[in-house]
């Protein structure tokens, strides 16, 4: 029927939502989660690499993460990446094992994390809206090129708007859940 592929638009919006959930995993709530460190990039072999490609992350205790670095020469780089992240963690290296104790969150730190979560959610909303804009522009271009009628364009725009509304609601729900998790003492 058209150049405007609703499945593609849905897939791109789902990608924004999945990206947000991945970013939320990095926001800690007071207990150790391997997802906290997974987004970190480490300076290794002359380039930036995900921490998961230079070592193994585990959570042996509720308040402790460990990173087992596979190449001993990268231990300092991994430790530096963890220390310089905005997670407020203080890693300690013991050979190729890096211990990362998870401190209790202060009330101020919790508020900061809620703000960070809000920024992540807003970025995801902007991404979804950009996908909507692209889809609507394509629909209008197709109408202008006489590939679809005005009614078909309007129906497409309504479908795209419904997808957008659904995804923004999912983003808002994910944010509300994460805020509840962060503020829960």
Domain residue spans in the chain?
Answer: 6-24+106-183, 31-101
Closest CA to 91 of 66, 58, 56: 66
Class of domain 31-101: alpha beta
- Does the pLDDT value for residue 26 go beyond 80? no
At 100, phi and psi to the nearest 5? Answer: -125, 95
Of 108 and 9, the structure prediction assigns the larger pLDDT to 9
Local structure of 63: helix, strand or coil: coil
What stretch of H or E contains 99?
strand 97-101
pLDDT of 3 reads 61
Token pair 């995900």 in the structure block, residue: 50
pLDDT of 162 reads 95
Same fold across 6-24+106-183 and 31-101: no
pTM of the model: 0.68
The domain 6-24+106-183 belongs to what CATH superfamily? Answer: Ribosome-recycling factor (1.10.132.20)
pLDDT of 1 reads 43
What gap in Å lies between CA 88 and CA 172, rounded to an integer? 26
Of 96 and 129, the structure prediction assigns the larger pLDDT to 129
């Amino acid at each position: 029927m058209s150049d405007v592929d609703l499945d593609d638009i849905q897939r791109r919006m789902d990608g924004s939502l999945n990206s947000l959930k991945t970013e939320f995993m990095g926001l800690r709530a007071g207990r150790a989660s391997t997802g906290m460190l997974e987004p970190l990039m480490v300076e290794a072999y002359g380039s930036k690499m995900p921490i998961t490609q230079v070592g193994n992350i585990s959570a042996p205790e509720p308040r402790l993460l460990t990173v087992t670095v596979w190449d001993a020469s990268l231990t300092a780089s991994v430790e530096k990446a963890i220390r310089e992240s905005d997670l407020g963690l203080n890693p300690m290296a013991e050979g190729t094992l890096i211990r990362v104790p998870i401190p209790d969150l202060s009330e101020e730190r919790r508020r900061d994390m809620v703000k960070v979560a809000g920024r992540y959610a807003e970025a995801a909303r902007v991404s979804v809206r950009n996908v909507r804009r692209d889809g609507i522009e394509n629909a209008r271009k197709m109408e202008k090129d006489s590939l679809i009628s005005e009614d078909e364009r309007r129906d497409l725009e309504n479908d795209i708007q419904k997808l957008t509304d659904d995804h923004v609601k999912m983003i808002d729900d994910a944010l509300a859940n994460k805020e509840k998790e962060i503020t829960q003492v």
